[in-house]
Amino acid sequence: MSGKNNGLFSKLEGIVGKEPPLKVLIVAAESSPFAAVGGFSRVIEALSTALRKTGHEARVFLPKFGFIDEEKYELEMVFADLAVPTGDEATPNLICNVKKCVLPSGVTVYFLENMEYYEKRANVYGYSDDPTRWALLSRGALEFLKRLPETEEFLDDDFYPDVIHCNDWHTGVLPNYLSSYYNNDPKLSKVASLLTIHNLYYQGLFDPQNISELDFDDGKSDVAPFFSEALNKQNFMKRGIIYSDAVNTVSPTYSKEILTQEFGAGLDRLLLEVRSKVYGVLNGLDTESFDPATDKVIEKNYDAFSLEQRTANKVAVQKEYNIAVSDEIPLIGFVGRLDQQKGIDLIVPAMKYLIKDFGVQFVQVGGGDLTYTEQFRELKSAFPKNVGLHLLPNFTLPRLIFAGCDMILYPSKFEPCGIVQLEAMRYGAIPIVRKVGGLADSVENFDPKTHKGTGFVFEDYDVIAFYGQLVRAVESFKHKEVWRVIQKNAMRKDFSWNKSAKEYAKIYRRAMEFHKKSSVSHVSSFGM
């Protein structure tokens, strides 16, 4: 982040308490507890809750997928027969309903209901018409806001957003619609927009690294009609970056990395041009849910002052995976999808030598790429008494691994934020990570001289560099007093969402300031 932006944030921090509460509509493809494919869904739920706790009014706008239980969540109709323009002459509108529920946290969640594009779909993602589905969500949210004064909902409260908070490529087209199609609307024209980039690599149905000249989208043309093949070739992520009033990534380091060719996924030149509106905020952690002192999933509760109780959880993990029960053997875990991004190319070869040389144990949970699945099976075959595998996703086993493992691996090739390392540190499992993205922002390399640090960090994406930190960790584990210091350092780190929510409030205000000053379209010459 530039010095200029840091100075602005300092000024904003001084006056934030005097500013009126913000009203924010968060538009996303998924959010817990309704639709949870990955960590992204937990971010939406946690941020909206934290914003409300810090005095702001945050609401969420989601698709109404068919698997969402209306009775369980007590959904009620807010707006029936909402006509959403498609841009197509043959079918000018898609008819939707908007329903809502209020979570125990007090957060109101709206659902865009459409039989064809949401109700009949078994999954959240993975369809050839995904661009149409997300364009419908984006424009549906705007049409709902445009018609909001006509609804009984508007009579019940005075909610109308100051900012629409978009997330990843799925809703990246929303700022484009807002700026180009609703710029004369008396209410919507005053609403600012923020785009959060959770992972820049994913930009739609095409590989952002291999785009032909014919498929290249400069982001300046009109948004294609819903049913046009051209819509599938328009880059929603790029358009969100161009048209939004502010952009943020989910960690400060990642906000700088994406300005480079290595991490920019083909959009680094554009991001360099608009870098004055690009910020980074580290994702938070739900510290109430992820608390080893109260977690009902783990074998034995404990805190930073009763780490000796943690041994029961290590035993539980070893029994779960049918490996030798011993507190003296270093137990190393990996939680996450088997994907090149997560550094699996480093884990398997490094673990072969580490098990052979030091007799460590290794367990994992998570599915993914079949090539990596087979590599893990080969590791298990080579060391059946030291390796335990659970090659499928699981929502409870990771907590036991955090509570029982001595170390957690996260040697990512790139990592916008990462949440596993935050969860692991909360439970006293020490992370061994590569110094990229959110890993660099959240894990401090342990210094044996000062006893400061929360993990073990390497820089180069290289097996030898990774192996060196593994050996450091294993050798440090032998010194129990030192290891307890590292564990306590990690467990005491503050990664609460309240802290992150305050940073988001500053960026919302910055987006509003940009929007007020901008009387023309955000589109200008980006030297592309």
Is residue 297 included in any domain, yes or no?
Answer: no
Asked if residue 390 and residue 253 are part of one domain, the reply reads no
Asked if residue 90 and residue 230 are part of one domain, the reply reads yes
Residues 6+ apart with CB under 8 A from 93: 83, 84, 85, 86
Pairing mode, if any, of strands 93-102 and 387-388? Answer: unpaired
Asked if residue 388 and residue 334 are part of one domain, the reply reads yes
Number of domains making up the chain: 2
Asked if residue 464 and residue 317 are part of one domain, the reply reads yes
Q: Which amino acid is at 57?
A: E
**H helix or E strand, kind and range, residue 243:** helix 236-243
Q: Is the four-CA dihedral 103, 301, 402, 466 of positive or negative sign?
A: positive
Domain carrying residue 240: 3-284+498-517
pLDDT tens, 472-526?
A: 999 999 999 999 999 999 999 999 999 999 999 999 999 999 999 984 444 444 4
Is residue 290 included in any domain, yes or no?
Answer: no
CATH code of the domain covering residue 52: 3.40.50.2000
Asked if residue 335 and residue 411 are part of one domain, the reply reads yes
CB 118 within 8 A of CB 63: yes
Is residue 522 included in any domain, yes or no?
Answer: no
Q: Report pLDDT for 160.
A: 93
Q: Is 361 helix (H, G, I), strand (E, B) or coil?
A: strand
Asked if residue 352 and residue 318 are part of one domain, the reply reads yes
Tell me the pLDDT band of 11, cut-offs 50, 70 and 90: very low
Q: Report pLDDT for 206.
A: 64
Asked if residue 345 and residue 276 are part of one domain, the reply reads no
Q: Count of H helices and E strands in the chain?
A: 18, 15
Is residue 291 included in any domain, yes or no?
Answer: no
Average pLDDT, the chain: 92
pLDDT at 13 over 50: no
Is residue 435 included in any domain, yes or no?
Answer: yes
pLDDT at 3 over 60: no
Phi, psi of 55 (to 5 degrees): 105, 0
pLDDT tens, 203-237?
A: 986 665 666 666 778 888 999 999 999 999 999 99
Asked if residue 360 and residue 252 are part of one domain, the reply reads no
Is residue 371 included in any domain, yes or no?
Answer: yes
pLDDT at 174 over 80: yes
Q: What is the pTM of this model?
A: 0.89
Q: Report pLDDT for 19.
A: 83
**Choice between 462 and 155, residue whose per-residue pLDDT is larger:** 462
